[in-house]
Chain A
Amino acid sequence: MIRIAARWLVSSVALLFAVTALTFVLASLAPGSAARAVLGANTSVTPQQYAQVKRQLGLDKPLPVQYWDWLSHLLHGSLGNDLFSGQPITAALGTRIGASLSLIVATIVVSGVAGVAFGTVSAVRGGLTGRILDALTVFGFALPSFWLGLILIDVLAVQARLFPTTGYAALGSDPGQWLRSIVLPVLTLSAGTTAAIARQTRDSMLQVFGRDFITALRSRGLPLRVIVGKHALRNAAIPVVTTLGVVFIGLLGGTVLVEQVFAIPGLGEAAVTATSSHDLPMIEGIAFYFAILVVIVNLLVDISYSVLNPRVRMAP
């Protein structure tokens, strides 16, 4: 057990290091500079002033040194400050992570429930119902999220006035408003993810249904709902859980566009703004948060394996 934990810890640290280092290099290679953005519209910027701002921001140092400085601050519990506003990155992202997590977790719940339900029905019933559900999942895959978002806004917000067109209300301040504010973005995000989970569930269930123990259970006269609910689903769950993990990680990127469409102040929106203004500490902070979430999700997926299949716990 200790060996497994140590292995997980080492791989997690390696992942965090790789993600932040790669992000640092890629962000630094982008055209333009934060110093230029900080100087803004000052017409009389001299090369000396430009160099001074670069020095103040630490951008005159070699890239490895800059990264090392960032890592050093991280080890002291600081992600640095926003280059423009001076706000600590942890504070800036702290106000945003709730919105992103709300969208991602709610999408996982909605698409998990709906996807498993659709996939199970499709596998169990087959025939026309199965084909219709299959077609719907393909449709869900094919829908561009930004397009779907705009359609949902127009129909359910502008025309029907059921939900707000944009914006986000914090769960802590007004739960009812929070729920209303995430319905449309979650529906938008869920179209593709539900399809992915439904597809995986269907395939897994069909595999399980082909096994001997299902035939044995059927021959004992157990009702279908008991066979499905108590035996088949549990056996088909591991690939589905893996897919849920992958979907969660995919949503970290997927929310970027949806947060833009619905004007939700989340990490994705901050990532877009920070990238366009070359705010390297902010970009690094967001990459770090995303990487941490990936590590946590992978851990949860691993734990769920052992819960769903005791043999995994026995494995060396």
Chain B
Amino acid sequence: MRKIKHVVRTSTVAPVAGMLLASVAACSSASSSPVTQPAASSATGGTLTVAGELGPTTLNPETTNQADCDFEELAYEPLIVRLNDGGLAPGLATSWHYAGSGNTTFVLNLRGGVKFSDGTIMTAQDVVNDFEYVVKAAGQMAPFFAGDSFTVTGPLQVTITAKIPNPDFPFLLTQDYNAGDIISPGGLKDTAALGTKTFGAGPYELDAAETVSGSTYTYTPNPYYYDKPAVHWAKVVIKVMSSAQAILDALKTGEVNLSEGDASTLKAAEQAGLTVTQAPLIWEGVDLADRNGKMVKALASVQVRQALNYDTDRTALVSALFAGVGTPTEQVTVPGGYGYLASLNTVYPYDPAKAKQLLAAAGYPHGFTMSMVTADYDEENLLAQALKQEWAQIGVTVNIIDDANPDAYAQAFASGTVPSFIATYGQQPIPVEGPGLFLPSAIFNPYHTASPALQSLYDQDITASGAAATTLDQKVESYLVDNAWFVPVVASGLPWYATTNITGTAVTATAPLVELYQVEPARS
């Protein structure tokens, strides 16, 4: 759907796992209160129609873009369910735990008697086969499982032995990522069919006859679903509609019940009486990638990078470009997100004089010149233009490369040939974020900047848990802010528009995307 897709677009173009919406509930699955005994069907609604601006390239859960998972989540139940409050609940797995210390051995106990939509019973071997396919399919989730081994350790038990510590298996196996969406043996036998058909154990299955790939996706209840009370609709239709205005019009007339929105239609949606909800989702700003000073020597100076942060009037920029959907931010997370510290948003108050002082102290009293690549969607290019003007006042000349083609944009910034670029990134657990955003191998770190201090914090973080992990998350975030690796500008949310005859569209900081599973008919 649009905003999700927008994030995907950046990631698609950027092949960036970093763009994974991590801890956000891009895709949901399963009910919030799984039951163990099958019950009678309780589909109480007629048809739920959801609209989004872009469709998925495939329905294969292991090769689809994570941000497109709305299109497969209805048919694939995850092993673990992430609840709206951020907590975890049983899905196809009834319990899970790390064995021993070090976050390398993860044990899953599976639900018994679960059937896929083709009627076959799920076994532990099916789950192992699915994990192996995750790695083989080389999709977005593959890097998080590459090198791990998967073993059947009981009739209904599977153990993952990780090559390197991974404290986030519980999160990676929720609906927010796709690795926990288990595919039936039939699907794994015919992987070519996974693109256009569904083979899951979720509450619905794709009705291929009523589906036009890339345009309309129709789902009907899975007769074998283990938690029938969680099936709220006789039919769910997801329509791809390329115009935000068309979607708004369809919502006004009731042809569509639910959709993502954007800043351009926010006021109109509120005026039309639609239910509008939103929560922080992504941060957007500049990645000062050439921190080694390979192309622009000045960027190797932390004072220079800090100067750029001081000379950024975030309040004005957010007011002008992200009114109603964003708040100013100086950190690479969103309020309530992983590693977030309110105090980190007061490190760089807008102060051009201070910026000039820092530039002079770094040996650049008259500024310097650098190029910056930007995509041209969702105000990114406008943000680049605005920053160019602001930074000009301290002598920094920015040559903007505005890439209309998303692939070209991704290639430009990921190839390490442009010293800075506009970045959009979804919040996610730090251990997951590192390989995408700031570790030397990360795509958002194209000059491979290495910091022993940051690496040390990261290495401690991936083996920690509980409060210790939270503290380490915040230390990582503090390091990135203090050393000005980025110039974050806005933490923006994704507005959702819903007609008043449905409920379950509330979102929170830990679950900023509406879970289609939890949308129900409003009770009159």
| Interfacial residues, chain A to chain B (CB-CB below 8 A) | 30-33, 36-45, 49, 82, 84-87, 92, 95-96, 150, 153-154, 157-158, 161, 164-167, 260-263, 265, 269-270, 272-273, 277-278
Query: CB distance B63 to A164 under 8 Å?
Result: no
Q: Complex Cα distance A43/B16, Å?
A: 4
Answer whether A82 and B246 are a contact pair too, CB < 8 Å, given A37-B407, A167-B255: no
User: For the complex, what is the distance from the CA of A85 to the CA of B240, rounded to whole Å?
Assistant: 16
Docked pose: A45 CA to B139 CA in angstroms: 9
A164 close to B253 (CB less than 8 A): yes
The answer for the CA separation of A158 and B248 in the assembled complex, in Å, is: 10
Of the A-B pairs whose beta carbons lie under 8 Å apart in the complex, a sample of 28, sorted by A's number, is A32-B408, A36-B12, A36-B15, A36-B407, A37-B407, A39-B15, A39-B138, A40-B57, A41-B8, A41-B15, A41-B17, A42-B140, A43-B143, A49-B138, A84-B195, A86-B193, A86-B196, A87-B196, A92-B213, A95-B212, A150-B245, A157-B249, A158-B249, A164-B253, A167-B250, A167-B255, A265-B216, A278-B407
Q: Which B391-440 residues have C-beta < 8 A from chain A?
A: 405-408, 410-411, 435-436
- Decide yes or no: A40 and B63 within 8 Å by CB, A95-B212, A95-B213, A269-B214 being known contacts: yes
Given contacts A85-B196, A86-B58, A263-B246, 12 further A-B contacts (CB under 8 A): A30-B405, A32-B411, A33-B407, A36-B12, A40-B64, A40-B140, A43-B143, A85-B59, A95-B213, A164-B250, A165-B246, A263-B239
Q: In the complex, what distance in Å separates the CA atom of A259 from the CA atom of B18?
A: 34
A44–B146 touching, CB < 8 Å: yes
For the complex, what is the distance from the CA of A40 to the CA of B255, rounded to whole Å?
32
Find out whether the CB atom of A37 lies under 8 angstroms from the CB atom of B57.
Answer: yes
Residue of B195, B214, B240, B249 ringed by the most chain A CB atoms within 10 A: B214
Does B110 sit at the interface, judged by CB under 8 A?
no
**CB-CB < 8 A to A86: which residues of B?**
58, 192-196
Q: What's the least CB distance linking A278 to chain B, in Å?
A: 8
B2 vs chain A, min Cβ distance (A): 13
Asked if B405 and A273 make an inter-chain contact with CB atoms under 8 angstroms apart, the answer reads no
Q: Is the CB of B241 within 8 A of A41?
A: no
A31 contacts B192, C-beta separation under 8 Å: no
Considering only CB atoms, which chain A residue lies closest to B67 in the complex?
A41
Instruction: Report the bound CA distance from A166 to B242 in whole Å.
Output: 11
* Chain A residues within an 8 Å CB radius of B146: 44
Asked if B443 is at the interface of the complex by the 8 Å CB criterion, the answer is yes
Residue B484, interface by CB 8 Å: no
Question: Do A84 and B442 have beta carbons less than 8 Å apart?
Answer: no
Given the contacts A37-B407, A43-B16, A82 and B242 also touching, CB distance less than 8 Å? no
Ranked nearest first, the 8 interchain pairs of A and B with the lowest CB-CB distance are: A32-B407, A265-B215, A41-B11, A85-B195, A43-B17, A84-B57, A263-B241, A44-B143
A82 and B215 alpha carbons, distance in the complex (Å): 15
Assess the B8–A273 pair: CB atoms within 8 A.
no
CB distance from A124 to the nearest CB of B (A): 41
Docked Cα-Cα span, A265 to B436, in Å, equals 36
B361-413 interface (Cβ within 8 A of A): 405-408, 410-411
The answer on a CB contact under 8 Å between B249 and A165 is yes
Cα–Cα distance between A210 and B242 once the two chains are bound (Å): 51
B61 within 8 A of A: no
A32→B406 contact, CB < 8 A: yes
Distance (Å) between the CB of A104 and the closest chain B CB?
18
- Checking A49, A82, A165 against B250 with a beta-carbon cut-off of 8 angstroms, the contacting residue is A165
In the complex, which residues of chain B have a beta carbon less than 8 angstroms from the beta carbon of A30? 405
What per-residue 1/0 map shows which CB atoms of B229-271 lie under 8 Å from chain A? 0000000000111110110011011010000000000000000
* Cα distance, A55 to B411, chains bound together (Å): 20
A43 to B67, CA, bound (A): 14
> Do B58 and A85 have beta carbons less than 8 Å apart?
yes
Which residues of chain B are near A167, meaning CB under 8 Å? 239, 250, 255
Q: Chain B residues near A166 (CB, 8 Å)?
A: 239, 241, 246, 249-250, 255
Q: Which of B20, B408, B441 contacts A44 (CB 8 A)?
A: B441
Question: Which of A42, A167, A277 has the most chain B CB within a 10 Å cutoff?
Answer: A42
Cβ contact within 8 Å between B140 and A41: yes
**Cβ-based interface call for B66 (8 A):** yes
Does B355 sit within 8 A of A, measured CB to CB?
no
Of the candidates B17, B196, B246, the one whose C-beta lies within 8 Å of that of A153 is B246
Docked CA distance A85–B192 (Å): 8
Give complex CA distance A92, B245 in Å.
27
| A31 in contact with B408 given A41-B11, A41-B15, A158-B253 (CB within 8 Å) | yes
| Cα(A150)–Cα(B250), bound, Å | 12
Chain B residues positioned under 8 Å from A157 (CB to CB): 249, 253
Assess whether B518 is interfacial by the CB under 8 Å rule.
no
- Does B436 contact A43, Cβ atoms closer than 8 Å? yes
B55 within 8 A of A: yes
Across the interface, do B241 and A87 meet the contact criterion of CB distance under 8 Å?
Answer: no
Do A36 and B410 touch (CB < 8 A)? yes
A42-B138, A82-B213, A165-B253 as given contacts; A273 in contact with B14, CB under 8 Å: no
With a cutoff of 8 Å between Cβ atoms, the chain A residues found around residue B14 in the complex are: 41
Contacts of B196 in A (CB 8 A): 85-87
Interface contact A42-B142, CB-CB below 8 Å: yes
Docked Cα-Cα span, A150 to B249, in Å, equals: 10
0 or 1 for each of B132-146: is its CB under 8 Å from A? (1 = yes): 000000111011001
Question: Would you call B65 an interface residue if the criterion is a C-beta within 8 Å of the partner chain's C-beta atoms?
Answer: yes
Which residues of chain A have C-beta atoms less than 8 A from B8's C-beta? 40-41
**Residue in chain B with minimal CB distance to A45:** B15
Which residues of B (443-482) have their CB < 8 Å from a CB of A? 443
- The CA of A204 and the CA of B212, in the complex, are separated in Å by 44
Chain B residues near A87: list those with CB within 8 A.
Answer: 195-196, 213
A residues near B17, Cβ cutoff 8 Å = 41-44
Contacts of A43 in B (CB 8 A): 15-18, 140, 143, 435-436, 442-443
Let me know if B19 is at the binding interface, CB within 8 A: yes
Which residue on chain A has the smallest CB distance to residue B241? A263
Bound complex: CA A273 to CA B436 (Å)? 27
Which of chain A's residues have a CB closer than 8 A to the CB of B58?
84-86
Contact A41 B16 (CB under 8 A): yes
* Given A37-B12, A85-B59, A167-B239: A42 in contact with B143 (beta carbons within 8 A): yes
